[in-house]
Amino acid sequence: MSIDEDTKRLQRYLSEAKFPFPVARIDATQAQQMMRFDNTPSTFYVDRSGIVRYQITGGEAHGDSPARVSWFIDQLKK
Amino acid sequence: MQRLSAIVTVLLTLAGTPAAQSPPREALVRGEKFWDQRLARSAVAALESAARDRVTAAEAHEALGRLYTFKGWQQENVFPGWHDEPSFRAKALSELRAAVAADPSRGSAKDALRTAETFDAAESVDPAPPRPEIRAFDAKIASAANVPDLLAAIEQRAAAQADPAPFFAGAQSLIDRGEYDRAIAMAERGGTASDRFIDENLSAYQLTGKSQGSYARGRATAADLVGWAKFQKKDYAGARDKLMEAAQLSQDQDFLNQFHLGELERAQNAPARARERYLTALSLAGGPPPLRQRATEALTGLESAAVAVGFDAWLETELTRRRDERKAEALNSLVDRPLPKLPLTTVDGRPYDAKSLQGKVLLLNFFASW
């Protein structure tokens, strides 16, 4: 979910980063209000029934290791 | 007769001083000086008032246009937490067009307008390069041979650009030279400068969390430097107050501050608390390698469970546990509530169909390319 205002910049970023997952856009203010975060990056893990189960703000807390990201996904797949 | 001519000379001299400038001209000069210092809000207020007077309109519109050009296209990461502000791009173009309209012979305004139009059409615009004069002042602070030179260099740098960096670098340098009281005063000025600098450029941060984070970082840096200077003065109670204030502001996530608290606890014969601080420091990213080395060495000297399993294994277990605890603390708020229906679009602006995601475990990462 990109909150970029500048679409040209986003397109360029995506063409460089080549993420292997879908990317959608959302207005920054709407996203912050609906998802209740106030910093980027913010990450949410949602279970199969559509309930938000984990929220992580910032990069330091978990973004520095694929193993930590996998841990959250594994919890919800159990 | 001699006295009369003296009076005439005084009057002529007064007429030639800047104090005799017209109010709009004075506002223009003030606005340009504010923007040189990157104090955007004050600069805009002064320049807008100068733009309303016919005599200074062209110059003021040009200065405003240059300011908005910078903010719209060129300020990405020029200071920590700053991002380009696309909403200023149209304003940049209209101010520069107003400057050219006010004085069609004004070459510098036409140049600035051409630059902004080029940026507007470009795929991407590089951030503004570092300013050579600011770099030169920073180098003078770093290489000052003695305290008077250092103090003069800090003042010069602070007058040229209003961010808190020269005060913080100066305070650290004063601590290194044993000038603890001066260091404390300098660090406090840095804290004040940091708040003002963020206030003046608030929209550059785009998210409230980012500006709040920047305020907290500036205040934490000031408090940590004051605390560290007090520690060097062996004012341990005063050091504890300020170092703990910094710890609270940085949410125990600043390497240097945790290291300083470790040194304080060790100096006060509290090995268990010292061990906790050194471990917290090492579990965080950042910190210069020599200080990380010193923290590790301090830990080997403190009694611990390390003996049984070997120091390296013990350290790794302790650091992992701390990182996991931080991860747990970061969990909050929308948790255990249904995911709201989000107004998503594709990257090129069409509605995004999220049906295929239903019934799946999702990882939603909100990010920005800036």
- pLDDT, tens digit, for every residue of B25-62? 999 999 999 999 999 999 999 999 999 999 999 999 99
Check whether residue A60 and residue A43 sit in a common domain. Answer: yes
Report how many domains make up chain A: 2
Helix B147-160 and helix B132-143, axial crossing angle in degrees, nearest 10? 160
Check whether residue A44 and residue A77 sit in a common domain. Answer: yes
Check whether residue A30 and residue A50 sit in a common domain. Answer: no
**Boundaries of every domain in chain B:** 18-121, 130-248, 252-326
Which residues constitute the domain of residue A73? 39-78
Check whether residue A31 and residue A46 sit in a common domain. Answer: no
Half-sphere exposure of B119 (CA within 13 A, CB side): 26
Give the integer Cα–Cα distance in Å for B3 and B49.
41
Give the integer Cα–Cα distance in Å for B260 and B228.
7
Check whether residue A44 and residue A76 sit in a common domain. Answer: yes
B18-121, CATH topology level: 1.25.40
Structure tokens belonging to residue A51: 């309930």
Give the integer Cα–Cα distance in Å for B175 and B252.
23
Check whether residue A24 and residue A48 sit in a common domain. Answer: no
Q: Which residues make Cβ contacts (< 8 Å) with residue B274, sequence separation at least 6?
A: B262, B263, B265, B266, B298, B302
CB contact under 8 A, B367 and A68: no
pLDDT digits (tens, 9 = 90+) for B300-356: 887 665 666 788 888 888 898 888 877 766 655 788 888 888 889 998 888 888 888
ω before B86 within 30° of 0 (cis)? Answer: no
Q: Which residue of B has its CA nearest to A41?
A: B367
Check whether residue A27 and residue A55 sit in a common domain. Answer: no
Domain at B130-248, CATH class: mainly alpha
Check whether residue A67 and residue A46 sit in a common domain. Answer: yes
Give the integer Cα–Cα distance in Å for B162 and B194.
8
pLDDT digits (tens, 9 = 90+) for A20-55: 888 999 988 888 878 888 788 889 999 999 999 888
Check whether residue A57 and residue A22 sit in a common domain. Answer: no
CB contact under 8 A, B365 and A35: no
CB contact under 8 A, A46 and B361: yes
Q: Which residues make Cβ contacts (< 8 Å) with residue A9, sequence separation at least 6?
A: B84, B124, B369, B370
Tell me the shortest Cα–Cα distance from A38 to chain B, in angstroms: 5
Check whether residue A19 and residue A50 sit in a common domain. Answer: no
Q: Which single residue is written with the structure tokens 């001519």?
A: B5
A25 touches chain B (CB under 8 A): yes
A6 touches chain B (CB under 8 A): yes
User: What's the mean per-residue pLDDT of chain B?
Assistant: 90
Site from A30, A39, A65, A73 to mutate, B interface, most B CB atoms within 10 angstroms:
A39
Nearest neighbour of B345 by CB, restricted to A14, A25, A28: A25
Would the CA dihedral through B89, B90, B93, B99 be positive or negative? negative
User: How large is the ipTM?
Assistant: 0.88
Helix B255-267 and helix B289-301, axial crossing angle in degrees, nearest 10? 30
- pLDDT attached to residue B325: 79
Given pLDDT bands bounded at 50, 70 and 90, which one contains residue B130?
very high
